[in-house]
Amino acid sequence: MNNKKNTKFAYAINAPLIIYLACVLLGPIIWGIWMSFTNKTIGGDAVFIGLDNYITLLADEEYRRSILNTLVFTFFSIVGKCFFGILMALALNIKFKGRNIVRALLMIPWTLPNIVAVLNWRWIFSSTGGIANYLLKSLHIIDKDLIWFGSAGLAMTTVIVANIWRGTPFFGVSILAKLQTISQDGYEAAAIDGANMWQRFWYITLPEIKDVILLSTLMSTIWTLNEFESVWLLTGGGPNGATEVMNVFSYQTAMKSMMLGKGIAVSILAMPVLLILISLLTRRMIAKED
């Protein structure tokens, strides 16, 4: 009986939140799903056309290429952020003079407004006067300026590098928080047994931080799959669609081509993957709390 009362009380307390979420989340989702089954254009009427948008998209080579671009962008971005995040955490876990100042400075990429960060990267990779070309020429790696945004491979590199730079502090701070909870007794015992630095990391540190790495990876993967602003501002999806990820393709379809229904269908097709990732993330977080 008490359980029923507690359940009713919990629903009553959370009723405003449930109503709010239903209005701002569930309502737009239902509207978006409905629009994806229509030929809705900006300024035009919505006429139901069934699965035509989805069939057209799956047969569209440009859409399939945007999926591949998204996978490449996400994979290399996550690998880079995880790798440099671990290095950042390990370095900041060592006591040295001015450590707190260094920690604050390394948080700058994550705290900067995205537009500011992107404009800085546009200057760094500029083909005329950019610091990337200057450094590479100074090191005698290249003889002439590279046109970073004019080559397919180089353009994808720029957006991946920018995303890694911006997302690394999230991994670093998350892993660092876990590192500071690890007891030093295990390290001391391993050192007495003759374990070197790599062995201590592999057998003591990594098992302790693997859950944090997994949670950070899942969360960052969701964010990276949804990335739009930095890619759009850096390359606009070019050259010739080389960096056109799914969200850029959706935007160009809905806003530039004015085919709103088809553009929304792009996002709806990505929902199952995002829901699976969100479900995995939620389960891992609940399991960790338990």
Task: Express each pLDDT in 16-58 by its tens digit.
Answer: 888 887 788 888 888 889 999 999 888 888 889 989 999 999 9
DSSP the chain: -HHHHHHHHHHHHHHHHHHHHIIIIIHHHHHHHHHHTB---TTS---B-TTHHHHHHHT-HHHHHHHHHHHHHHHHHHHHHHHHHHHHHHHHTS--TTHHHHHHHHTHHHHS-HHHHHHHHHHHT-TTT-HHHHHHHHTTS-SS---GGGSHHHHHHHHHHHHHHHHHHHHHHHHHHHHTTS-SHHHHHHHHTT--HHHHIIIIIHHHHHHHHHHHHHHHHHHHHT--HHHHHHTTT-STTTT--HHHHHHIIIIIS--HHHHHHHHHHHHHHHHHHHHHHHHHHHHHH-
Per-residue pLDDT of the chain (290 residues; tens, 9 = 90+): 556 666 777 778 888 888 887 788 888 888 889 999 999 888 888 889 989 999 999 999 999 999 999 999 999 999 999 999 999 999 888 888 888 888 888 888 888 888 888 989 999 999 888 899 999 999 888 888 889 998 888 999 999 999 999 999 999 999 999 998 888 888 888 888 788 888 888 888 888 899 899 989 999 999 999 999 999 999 999 888 999 999 999 999 988 888 999 999 998 998 888 888 888 877 777 766 55
Give residue-wise pLDDT tens across range 69-86: 999 999 999 999 999 999
